[in-house]
Amino acid sequence: MKRLLLLLVAALLALSACAGSSSKPKPKASELQDNPKTGKYLGTGLTPQQPRPSFTLTDTSGRPFAFGSKTAGHPTFLFFGYTDCPDVCPATLADIATATRHAPAGIAKKTYVVFVTTDVQHDTGPVITEWLHNFTFGPGVTLVGLRGSQTQIDTAQAASHITLASDGGKTHSASALLYGHDDYARVLFLQSNNEADAMAHDLKIIGSAA
């Protein structure tokens, strides 16, 4: 029951309007999830673990991208946001990029980073592509930008157990999920001053666990 309450609190904290959002504190050491096979995570532990969702959206080249099957078996960061976001989204993508640059080369080349826009009106394929080029990811990382209709984006968020965005996509979840080889997410990362270290730590653990 205590773990369930912690998860509910984390979910409520994870919803953020990009403009004027404030930093969130990192989890205390006593709240870190301790898994006997992989050690302690620095991200917020998920109990129960969340399965990799199945949804299909359109990538920046206009081709369908089936998230569940395309990324299956790979360490995968999944983040929902929008390109004109002034703070949460660029900060989160910058942290993910830093984490992948600090990952061992063998893990980086297996890792997917998937960004899904919540702004269905303005974020076209070229707009997403240009925005993602602002971030430098580790060598070999597969970077994917996705878009879709409002119904498709809502379905993808629901399948990922992410609170649906509102206000034209500008009020959206500030959570970045990290899935492992077994196709489950055990941790998420909330927007804060610096999540890069926690992401790098957990990516190394999850990426090493085959």
Q: pLDDT (tens digit, 9 = 90+) per residue, 141-167?
A: 999 999 999 999 999 999 999 999 999
pLDDT at res. 184 = 97
pLDDT tens figures, 19-35: 433 333 333 333 334 44
Q: Does position 13 have pLDDT exceeding 80, yes or no? A: no
- The residues, any chain, with a CB within 8 Å of residue 2's CB and separated by 6 or more, are none
Mean pLDDT of 79-95: 94
pLDDT at res. 192 = 61
pLDDT tens figures, 32-86: 344 433 447 999 989 899 999 999 999 999 999 999 999 999 999 999 999 999 8
User: Which residues partner with 40 through β-bridges?
Assistant: 34
- The residues, any chain, with a CB within 8 Å of residue 209's CB and separated by 6 or more, are 37, 38, 180, 181, 182
Share the mean pLDDT of the chain.
84
d(CA 162, CA 14): 9
Single pTM value for the model: 0.83
Answer with the residue of higher pLDDT: 82 or 13: 82
pLDDT at res. 208 = 87
Structural domains of the chain in order of their starting residue, each with its CATH number? 2-13+44-208 (3.40.30.10)
pLDDT at res. 27 = 37
